[in-house]
Amino acid sequence: MLDLIRSVNLSVGIGIVTYLFVSLSYRGIAEKNNISPFIPILNLKQSRLLIIGFVLWTIALILEILSPSPAGISALLINIARPAILTAATMYIAHSLIIFISLSTRKEKIADSLDRINLYRIAGIAVLVGTVLFSIWLGKQFAVYERLFLSFYMVWQLIIVTHVFSFLQVCKHPMQKALMVLLIVWGINIPAAIFHVAIVTTAALAGFLALILRSNYLYLQETLKRASSFKTEKDVMISFLSKLSSGDESMMRKDDHHEDSVPDDEISYWGGFDLDRLLQIMLDYGMELCGASAGAIFIRDDIHEMFSKTQKMPKRGIFFSARAVAGMYPPTFELGHLPHSSAQIDRIHDMVRSEKVSIGTGVVGQAAKTGKSILISDVAGDPQIQQQHEDYLKIRCILAVPLKLLDQTVAVLSVINKKNMRKGFDHQDEATLMAMAVQAANTLGSAIMHSNLQEKERLQREIELAREVQRLLLPKSCPQITGYLIAARSDPAQDVGGDYYDFLWLDDDRLAIVVADVSGKGIPGALTMATVRSALRAIVTQNKNARDILIELNKFILPDMRQGTFVSMLLAIMKVSTGEIEVVRAGHEPLLLFHRNRSTHEEIAPAGIALGMVDGEFFKANTQLERIQMQEGDKLVLYTDGVTEAMNPSLREFSFERFIKTLEECKTNSAEDTVLTISNRIASFAGKQPQHDDITLVVLQRIKPSRE
């Protein structure tokens, strides 16, 4: 009878191995359910590992039938193989449990990443190999550790059986009843002589079958979900592009003015496209996709600089501002009581647009910082959300999705409150909005690139015109004066600043030397420079001293200066016959005086405020005049801040100290050689770093008059 039971036991084991080999594969399950395999789950290598384990288990049963004597070699092999096989089965169960736990059984949750699950599989196989090797060693010492070994497996089998039964009770898989019957029959079908390991073997088999089927079933669900998501993403992209195409006409500026006329808000006008209109289309479509009642698109404030700057810029705070707002989207600060009315919508939208969201702050800031979407289906009690007093402005659910270009978040699309108030946003809404965000980011990037090209062309035309204006305003040569050497040089920056220098004769014995730096670049800076030059040339003919000239110049140009625009100036009037010089300064760098017989230099810096900033009386009260005397061999240096602030590729400045050191080295050089040396030193220091400001330098040297 015992041999009959063992034979039946062996037959069932062989049948199970055959079943595993033929039926238990992902491809087989997929074909039976009329599903095309999308991602291989149980590949050939993994299937072979499983089959090898159960073949070894069957061999153990055969050895048990052929060797009834407990003292024979076969019994020893059984003692070696049985714990290895049982451990292998146990590890497969543990491995399956990991897969089962990592996959959610609730419909409203998303299954874990497939990559992570495959990592679990690899880790499980590694642990399995180590455990099997340990079990082989344990099998050799089975007589010594038998009680410890069996106690361990009795506890383990209790856990396995409990889990398998609890799982089978909730599992809706078609194999549920068959697995339960198999569990019972297999338990009865084990000889009493090995009952202490029969439960473990039974639990391992039943648990393995149940969990591997369950994991494959959930993999199929994930596969279908991803395939459906891909289809949704494709549909979303096509629909979004269609929306943009239909909105092209409305996004184009109908501007009959000159092509160089650009709105004050440059970021709103990119390459002929109305950015605000483009963002509004994106927002409206995003709200439509997920059924949101309100939303906003926050765009990075320095987005234009991100794509137009070719040089390193010092780090600064990153902020996002709302450029498109729809519905009752509230600001993050508390509004207090604000009765609901249609007139309030525009006011609320203006409040949202006026906010600066720093990166990492709130839901929008966190989405911008991490570059990942944030979904909060129920915001009740969430500390990130600032709720308003009025019900119509309260946030019930929120979904924020980043728009990324070049691995950087350039905008964040935030939607709130489902129109269907009975539920919040779900993961399907998140996936759909993310698909739309990818295409929206690409569209935004194309607009930026196109605008940068047009802006570059426009700026280049402006720079060429400004350079021509600047060239016409600067002196064509330096005055030739007996007893003096004068040299000057002005190198314009890439985007042309407003540096200016000039030489003006007040009478036969007095020469005015002026160096100025006009705030603003391009055409505005060049026009301001022209105004200052014309006014100064008219005023110096009135035979006034340097202080009076500067006061009169400020009074003349102040009414025409734009807000935020000013001019720094250094004015020196030299009496050629004596070498006496009057010096006045309007917020400019000091005049440098190098004496022939002294090791130190003087910095001549009389008090003075920049031109165009304050009215006449205040300017007059704060302007001082200082007189100096040049001796034979002395040297005067006038310069602009572009000299000392020239940068190298490491963003280090040339500095005032380096400038002074170079001038001291040129103490005995001529004026022209001094200017050339300074220019070469700056060029060598800056290297390939683009020049960001004009560099202007004037050197006056008194020499011994030559005899004719």
**Span 461-478, mean pLDDT?**
77
Q: Is the pLDDT of residue 438 over 60?
A: yes
Contact residues for 158 (Cβ-Cβ < 8 A; gap 6+): none
Cα separation, 346 vs 344, whole angstroms: 6
Residue 34 has pLDDT above 50, yes or no: no
Identify whether residues 510 and 384 lie together within a single domain. no
Q: Of 386-390, 463-467, 551-555, 651-655, give the lowest mean pLDDT range.
A: 463-467
The predicted pLDDT at position 351 comes to: 87
Positions of E strands within 552-685? 567-575, 580-586, 591-594, 601-604, 625-629, 635-639
pLDDT at 2: 46
Does residue 687 carry a pLDDT above 80? Answer: yes
293 neighbors 419 (Cβ within 8 angstroms): yes
Six token digits for residue 393: 């402005």
Place of tokens 């030299």: 574
Do the Cβ atoms of 493 and 691 come closer than 8 Å? Answer: yes
The β-bridge relationship of strands 319-326 and 591-594 is: unpaired
Residue 330, both tokens: 């509230």
Same domain, 487 and 586: yes
Q: Please identify, among 177, 207, 231, the residue that sits at the C-terminal boundary of a domain.
A: 231
Q: Report yes or no on 465 lying in a domain.
A: no
Higher confidence at residue 707 or residue 46?
707
Query: What is the average per-residue pLDDT within 62-74?
Result: 50
For the entire predicted model, the pTM comes to 0.44
pLDDT higher than threshold 70 for residue 509: yes
Torsion angles phi and psi, residue 190, rounded to 5: -95, 135
CB 299, CB 353: distance < 8 Å: no
Q: Do 631 and 644 form a contact (C-beta atoms < 8 A)?
A: no
Tokens of 55: 């073949």
For the chain, give the number of residues: 708
Tokens encoding 640: 């602009």
- Is 41 buried (19+), middle (13-18) or exposed (0-12) by CB count in 10 A? buried
Q: What is the per-residue pLDDT across 295-350, written as a single tens digit (0 to 9) for each?
A: 999 998 887 677 665 444 444 568 899 989 999 899 887 777 777 777 778 888 88
Per-residue DSSP letters for 20-45? Answer: HHHT-SHHHHHHHTT----S--S-HH
Tokens 């698909």, located at residue: 435
Could you tell me how far CA 323 lies from the centroid of its own chain? 19
For residue 167, which of 131, 217, 111 has the smallest C-alpha distance?
217
Tell me, what CATH number does 318's domain have?
3.30.450.40
pLDDT at 13: 53
Rounded to whole angstroms, the Cα distance separating 30 from 43 reads: 13
Mean pLDDT of 208-219: 50
Same domain, 529 and 436: no
Query: Percent of the chain at pLDDT above 90?
Result: 26
Residue 668 DSSP SS3: coil
Paired tokens of 191: 């000889």
Specify which residues 269 forms β-bridges with.
Answer: 274
Indicate if 19 and 134 belong to the same structural domain. yes
Highest mean pLDDT among 209-218, 310-319, 399-408: 399-408
Q: Is the pLDDT of residue 652 over 50?
A: yes
Indicate if 157 and 103 belong to the same structural domain.
yes
Is residue 655 within 8 Å of 644, Cβ to Cβ?
yes
Q: What is the CA radius of gyration of the chain?
A: 42
Q: What is the mean pLDDT of residues 409-434?
A: 86
Report DSSP state, residue 631: -
For residue 383, name the pLDDT band (cuts at 50, 70, 90): confident
Looking at the domain assignment, is residue 466 inside a domain?
A: no
Which pLDDT score, from 0 to 100, does residue 237 have? Answer: 54
Claim to verify: residue 274 and residue 225 sit in the same structural domain:
no
Let me know whether 279 and 409 are in one domain: yes
Per-residue pLDDT, 347: 83
Query: Same domain, yes or no, for 527 and 649?
Result: yes
Structure confidence at residue 544 (pLDDT):
83
Using 50, 70 and 90 to split pLDDT, how confident is the model at 543?
Answer: confident
Residue 236: count other Cβ atoms within 10 Å of its Cβ.
22
The CATH code of the domain that includes 647 is: 3.60.40.10
> In 33-107, which ranges are continuous DSSP H helix?
44-66, 73-102
Q: Is residue 255 part of a domain?
A: no
Residue 241 lies in a domain: no
Containing structural domain, residue 651: 474-702
Q: What are the Cα distances from residue 149, in Å, to 61, 142, 200?
A: 19, 8, 12
Query: Is 29's pLDDT higher than 50?
Result: no
Question: Do 631 and 559 belong together in one domain?
Answer: yes
Categorize the per-residue pLDDT at 559 as very low, low, confident or very high, splitting at 50, 70 and 90. Answer: confident
Please compute the mean of the pLDDT values over residues 342-360 and round it to a whole number. 85
Is 208:27 a contact under the CB 8 Å cutoff?
A: no
From CA 492, how far away is CA 478, in angstroms rounded?
Answer: 18
The whole-number pLDDT of residue 657 equals: 93
Q: In the prediction, which pLDDT does 631 show?
A: 92
CA–CA distance, 82 with 76 (Å, rounded to integer): 10
What percent of the chain lies above the pLDDT cut of 70? 57
* Sign of the CA dihedral with 682 first, then 684, 686, and 692 last: positive
Categorize the per-residue pLDDT at 625 as very low, low, confident or very high, splitting at 50, 70 and 90. Answer: very high
Say how many domains are in the chain: 3
Residues 310 and 205 in one domain: no
Whether 375 and 440 map to the same domain: the answer is yes
What is the pLDDT at residue 198? 47
SS3 content of the chain, % helix, strand, coil (to 5): 55, 15, 30
Assigned domain for 654 exists: yes
The answer to whether residue 536 is domain-embedded is: yes
Average pLDDT over residues 532-538: 89
Most confident of 138-147, 156-165, 428-437: 428-437
Q: Is residue 250 part of a domain?
A: no
Residue 142's CB is within 10 A of a number of other CB atoms, namely 16
Split at pLDDT 50, 70, 90, the class of 58 is low
Of 436, 460, 484, the residue that ends a domain is 460
Is residue 604 one of the residues assigned to a domain? yes
Given this model, what pLDDT does residue 74 score? 52
Same domain, 439 and 543: no
Q: What is the 3-state secondary structure (H, E, C) of 526-549?
A: HHHHHHHHHHHHHHHHHCCCHHHH
Phi/psi of residue 365, each to 5°? -65, -35
How far does CA 643 lie from the centroid of its chain?
35
Pick from 231, 256, 282: which residue ends a domain? 231
- Quick: pLDDT tens for 191-210: 333 444 444 454 555 455 44
With cut-offs at 50, 70 and 90, classify the pLDDT of residue 608.
very high
